[in-house]
Each structure stands twice: as structure tokens, then as C-alpha cells.
Amino acid sequence: MFRKLDSHRAAKRLLNRCETLAGFSALDDGILRAYLTPQHAQANAQVGEWMIAAGMTTWQDQVGNQWGRYEGCLKGAPKLIIGSHLDTVPYAGRYDGILGVLAAIELVSQLNAENRRLPFAIEVVGFCDEEGTRFGTTLIGSKALAGQWQDDWLAIEDDQGTSMYDALIAFGLDPRQCINARLNPENILGFWELHIEQGPVLEAEDLPLGVVTGIAGAKRSMIQLKGQAGHAGTTPMHLRRDSLTGAAELTLAIERIARDIGGDLVATVGQVFSKPGAVNVIAGQTILSLDVRSQSDVVRDKAVEQINDIAEAIAGRRSLELSWNHTHQAPAVLCNAKYQAVFSSAIEQAFENKVPVRRLPSGAGHDAMALAEICPMAMLFLRSPRGLSHHPDEAVIPEDVASGLSVLYQAINKLELDCSQDLVSNSLVS
């Protein structure tokens, strides 16, 4: 059993390691660790050392993900993959992604200290590029594992004009081998990821952690309203075709529609571009960005449909021309039901039923989305103080980190029990 004292000590070490990794930065005044940079290599080397100290064998794969394997009782046993990402956005916090990799290492370290081998191997992964900071691509590390590597990514250049092809070579990797990072799905039990929530829900409910139900699918569009630019002094109000006031009305309607639909549906207008953009000219053309997300693609699409209906009505009433450009769409991905149940009972056990099990969707994308293509996946969220992330003030509560480790440990115990029972029943059948 992961005694209370041990989980606190492990949490302390984990948090110290977060500080060490924060030092591998391309910025003097903040954290930036991008794909295929010297800081990426430093982080992989350091994490590899910690993996070895925890009793794992280590390697770096064809795209630059860092791996460690803790063998099961039988060689070649199926594996459970646990991990998250080691790269960051510019001026990042210390915990986004990193926490999940280091938590998995602490978990293995504890098993190793107990001299315990499971009916399955544990492979810990530190993904190389989740954020897409350098090349604008996201989830490179996890997509490559899921067999979704695309050779046309090699031509993408960073803002210094270095192509991914050249960056891979400079890093010591062979671009022609990236496609071979794909995993064989056959012997994978699943993928688990512990991650900070990056939102305010758990904190608002005073809960240390929660079980993720799924990762929302996002739909993004640019909505254009075209009216007539004109003189701000000479055009009376009733003769105007003002695209900006139409866009303002539409923005408020989008907020109202999202609130009315409720649940996990969120809709955001984050950008407004208006032309010609002068103080004394009525706006003739306005473009709004729209980002709509839900764990249910049906709910999300229904929201976009309602927004389109109201946009048409507003445009009609104001004599504006409406056009849509759909720029991005990703389907929602559900977390595996069995593993959600494993996490839930692990939370009950770790907190002796004193903390309710909160299930919540993820509004943000994660590596687990990509892994879901090849194996069952599940995620645990840890409370994010002030809901802050992608920010230097991103934080975790040390007590919560200890709780997260206890829950992961209990979940492993539960999975071990399930696997042992499966093995027994399988041998009874055969």
C-alpha cells in the first residue's frame, strides 16, 4: 500500500523535478521547451535518468518521445502506457504535461521499491511535441505512435526557416524513420494520462481531482458579415449597413445560445477583425472567429446550426451579407468506461469515500486523443489553482499531487487484480 508518508515524499520529489525541468528553457525569463531543440534533448536525457533510477529500461523513439519500460512478471507481457508531454508553450508553467510524466515515474519507482512485478508491463512515455510550439503542428509525438505520422510535416519550417526535416537530423534522428514510431496496438492494455485540469471546475467545487469522461471535439469557423462602409458623420442611423454592430449582436447571441444549451457546451468569439477600421468610418466588413466545443459532436453541431440560423436572421434584418469559412473540426473522443470505473473506485479507496468522485469533460485537447485511435484511454485531472495554465503562474497544490499519486497507485492495484482474474478465468476456459 502506498502509505500516506510515501505519497507525500514522492510528491515532494516530483515537484522538485518539475523545478529541474523548468530550468531546461530557451528563454532567460520564462519556460520554453520546443520540439527538437537542445532543451528537448536535455529534458529527455534527465527524464531518462530518472526512469533508470526508478527501475526502467529506457529509449528514445524515432520522433523523439522519451520512453521507459518496467517489465511485468513475464517478459513480453501486455503493456499499460502512462505518460504525458514534456514540451511547453512559450512562457509556460511548470506542470502542464510534465506532471503526468513524472507521476508515472513515481508510480513505477514505488512498485520497484516494493520489488513488485505486475501481470503487465508499464511503459512510461514523455511525448516530444504536444503543444505544436515550434512547427504549428500539435500532438506530433502521440500521433506518430497512433500511426498518423505524415511525411508532409517534414517540409514545415519554424520561424527561423528551419524545416522539421533538418531539425530532426540536427537532433540526431532520421526523418525517414519517423513513420516507424507507430505502436503495435495488439499488446497495449491502454493509455493513462494524469494532467492538470487547466480550468476552474475542480477548484470551484473544492475537489483535488476528477475523472475525465471525454475530450471535447472542437469546431472552428470564421464568420464574415459584409455591409457598406460609409461616412460616420453623413450616414443617418436608419440608412446604415454596419457590419460591426451586426457582429456585436451575433456575439451576444452566440453567448446566449451556448448558455441555453448548457452542459459542457462552450462557444467563444475570440477574434474580431473590422474594416476599414477608422474612427470616422462605418464598418463595412467584419470577421468573427467562432470556437465551439462539446464532448458530444451532436450537441456541438446543433449549437453551430442554431448560431447559423441566428446569424442569418441578424444578417437579413440588417441587410448584411453572411458567409462562413469552417477552418477546423475534430471529433470528440470518449474516455474508456472500464478505466473511468477503475479511476473512480481508486479515488473512493484513496480518500476512504470522503471525497466525491467528480466526472468532468476536458475542453482542451491532449495526447490521449491521439492514443485513443489505437487503445482504450483514460485521464485523471488534478485541480488547477485559479484555473491557470499556459502561464508562468500555473500551479498545483502539493497535497493534490500526493493524492494523485495515491489514486494512480490504487488504480494500478485494481488493474492488477482484474488482470489476475482474467488470467485465471482464461486458463479455466482453456
User: Which residues make Cβ contacts (< 8 Å) with residue 98, sequence separation at least 6?
Assistant: 18, 21, 84, 85, 86, 88
CB of 338 to Zn ion, least distance (A): 24
CB of 44 to Zn ion, least distance (A): 17
Q: Which is nearer to Zn ion, 103 or 304 (CB)?
A: 103
CB of 97 to Zn ion, least distance (A): 4
- Cβ(93)–Cβ(394) below 8 Å: yes
Ranked by CB distance to Zn ion, the top (closest) residue is: 97
3-state secondary structure string across the chain: CCCHHHHHHHHHHHHHHHHHHHCCCCCCCCCCCCCCCHHHHHHHHHHHHHHHHCCCEEEECCCCCEEEEECCCCCCCCEEEEEEECCCCCCCCCCCCHHHHHHHHHHHHHHHHCCCCCCCEEEEEEECCCCCCCCCCCCHHHHHHCCCCCHHHHHCECCCCCEHHHHHHHHCCCHHHHHHHCCCHHHEEEEEEEEECCCCHHHHCCCCEEEEEEECEEEEEEEEEECECEECCCCCHHHCECHHHHHHHHHHHHHHHHHHHCCCCEEECCCEEEECCCCCEECCEEEEEEEEEECCHHHHHHHHHHHHHHHHHHHHHCCCEEEEEEEEECCCEECCHHHHHHHHHHHHHHCCCCCCCCEEEECCCCHHHHHCCCCCEEEEEECCHHHCCCCCCCCCCHHHHHHHHHHHHHHHHHHHHHHHHHHHHHHHHC
Q: Which is nearer to Zn ion, 88 or 410 (CB)?
A: 88
* CA 429 to chain CA mean position, Å: 40
CB of 197 to Zn ion, least distance (A): 11
CB of 255 to Zn ion, least distance (A): 27
- Cβ(246)–Cβ(225) below 8 Å: yes
* CA 104 to chain CA mean position, Å: 16
Q: Which is nearer to Zn ion, 97 or 175 (CB)?
A: 97
Site string for Zn ion, 154-193 (x = CB under 5 A): ----------------------------------------
User: What are the grid coordinates assigned to 61, written together?
Assistant: 523513439
CB of 292 to Zn ion, least distance (A): 21
Q: Which is nearer to Zn ion, 96 or 249 (CB)?
A: 96
Is 123 near Zn ion (CB under 5 A)?
no
Q: Which is nearer to Zn ion, 247 or 360 (CB)?
A: 360
Q: Which is nearer to Zn ion, 101 or 181 (CB)?
A: 101
Site string for Zn ion, 89-118 (x = CB under 5 A): -------xx---------------------
- Cβ(378)–Cβ(197) below 8 Å: no
Number of residues interacting with Zn ion: please give it, by CB under 5 A.
2
Q: Which is nearer to Zn ion, 132 or 147 (CB)?
A: 132
CB of 365 to Zn ion, least distance (A): 9
CB of 92 to Zn ion, least distance (A): 9
What is d(CA 141, CA 60) in angstroms, rounded to the nearest whole number? 11
CB of 368 to Zn ion, least distance (A): 10
Which amino acid would we find at residue 157? E
Q: Which is nearer to Zn ion, 79 or 366 (CB)?
A: 366
Q: Which is nearer to Zn ion, 123 or 193 (CB)?
A: 193
Q: Which is nearer to Zn ion, 48 or 97 (CB)?
A: 97
CB of 148 to Zn ion, least distance (A): 18
Site string for Zn ion, 68-87 (x = CB under 5 A): --------------------
Q: Which residues pair with 68 in a beta bridge?
A: 58, 124
Of residues 363 through 382, those in contact with Zn ion by CB under 5 A are none
CB of 131 to Zn ion, least distance (A): 7
Q: Which is nearer to Zn ion, 61 or 96 (CB)?
A: 96
| Binding residues vs Zn ion (CB under 5 A) | 96-97
